[in-house]
Structure 1
Amino acid sequence: MSQPAPITLYALSTCIHCKHTKEFLDRCGVIYDCIFVDKLTGDERKAMVEHIKTINPKLSFPTILINGEAIIGFKEKEIEEALRNL
């Protein structure tokens, strides 16, 4: 059984900051899960929104979870620091 990636990007497909975050993670060469919340539907979407609210009560995007640490917004320096600590 494979382990889930220690990095999850919660994003919106139409969000430019989410796009920049995804591109940055790709350039860093890390493996991560990307969940486009606006592409989910019904109960799956509701459950995901509730889950993200436990990490980021303001439900703003992007929300990045790196090894349990939440980073809200596209903040290169914070993301780099969190990646170094993996």
Structure 2
Amino acid sequence: MSYQSQIKNVPGKKVKKIMLYTLSTCIWCRKTKALLSELNLEYDFLDMDLLSEEDQEEAYTEMESYNPHLSFPTIVINRGEQVIKGFEEEMIRHLGHKND
């Protein structure tokens, strides 16, 4: 099974394509998810620590192309047009604006 089948979607306003790489135990990841939900933004997320070892390897390789430090959370906007590393509240809040 590919890790892509493990990606979960949270519905909301689709302003940009938002992909969130997280750990299920990471407080900053939970805060990021909560903020995106508070902003009513649609996003996809992947809890990396809940994947099988094989799927983790594949997903980490993809994540590393966006964030070589492999830090959490990693937020990929529009397939790499912008990458936010860590809980950067101001940057995340700006995702709700269409013209950014």
Partner residue, 2:85: 72
Query: What is the number of residues matched between the two proteins?
Result: 82
The reply on whether 1:23 has 2:34 as its aligned counterpart is yes
The reply on whether 1:83 has 2:86 as its aligned counterpart is no
Instruction: Choose from 65, 71, 76 the match for 1:60.
Output: 71
| Displacement after TM superposition at 1:81 (Å) | 2.0
Query: What are the equivalent positions in structure 2 for 1:39-50 lying under 5 Å apart?
Result: 39-50=50-61
| Displacement after TM superposition at 1:42 (Å) | 2.3
After TM superposition, the runs of 4+ consecutive aligned structure 1 residues lying more than 3 A away are: none
Structure 2 unmatched runs, 5+: 1-15
Instruction: Choose from 41, 45, 61 the match for 1:34.
Output: 45
| Displacement after TM superposition at 1:84 (Å) | 1.3
| Displacement after TM superposition at 1:83 (Å) | 3.2
TM-score (ref. length: structure 1): 0.87
TM-score (ref. length: structure 2): 0.76
Percent identity at matched positions? 39
Query: What are the equivalent positions in structure 2 for 1:7-18 lying under 5 Å apart?
Result: 7-18=18-29
